[in-house]
A and B are shown apart, each in its own frame.
Chain A
């Protein structure tokens, strides 16, 4: 069994001296408090306190809040359904179903992309794992809700909710197919070109 030693007041200081120090620090602190209180109540100084939720509070863009899916410049969703976010997610809250895109420009895209926000721990790993800057954690922090809320964010909600004002465009280099698929291997574009077909 260990013995817990409690530090005793030093012998050379009596109780009065210790109480004196206490009162001096407390009263100087309270002086600061009351002087700021006075300045703010007389509007000499701006108050930092917000009357939330009537007054809106915005966080830094780097705040890791509610997720959103970015878009390409043409308005298509940027996600290529590579599942890397789902793989990295420690809470396993991302559910993706991939599909073949109807147009030739994009090969693979998420038919379903869902985040179970109740399981999410806001670690930001999905953001880091994403090779195409398709998912980000945004500055929105208001996520409280009642029993009837939708706690699974769908693809449409993640990309197109009204707060995003039509979606966030990421300017990263497009990772789409290089050109429209030419199903003819023997077409002129291949056999007739002597020099390699270059793409910038």
Chain B
């Protein structure tokens, strides 16, 4: 069934372009990081060994390659700080993703059911925060959450609490920051999935005796599955490695891998350890993604 056709040079170039792009700007840096992750940490500049040079002979290269070590990876597994950082990152990202989903779904539903001429305006409003700096928006949450911040002041003024609630510098604040920042990434894929649903499917379900709640659970929700999964991945994956939000909103005890990495890199100057942590993170996130993709392809193949 494969219909092999000779591709023209132009067609080959067009197909090759995205691969070249990924090779140049994703794969090459990844390989550099991978190489540093198996290097040894030394007090020098740059702070690792071996360093290859174009002038090296083959024998020199071989000798230098003897310096490669998996020590950084071993340290990663044995160092409770890393293990805890990973677990804490995954937990915070998972909770934040779940809350983002719960907040975004009704919004997406309302947008998809809004009159057609209103929808472009609503999409515009959903992405409007992107016009301001991400950093400033996260910073603004400090003013809301801190002990003498807007929320605590308002609650105290209303007499609901007598002492300020500790919100700033907690894992909860990090979750709030992630939910707020990543909401559009959840909203838009779900909206896209809901918007293209055929309204007659809901009518058919109602016609067959499904109450509005049943129509939602049996038809609307299952048919938006792809959007929910896409949105959840778009939130969860960057949230695990998030650095800015935990740095600004999290307390010193809020461990997230992005911060631990930053500390190793810039404070401890242990580049190999930081690189190993980064590579491990990629592997950690890629494995479930690949499994999901394989299951999806299998399901499609079964059609």
Do A and B come from the same complex? no
B interface residues (Cβ-Cβ under 8 A, vs A): none
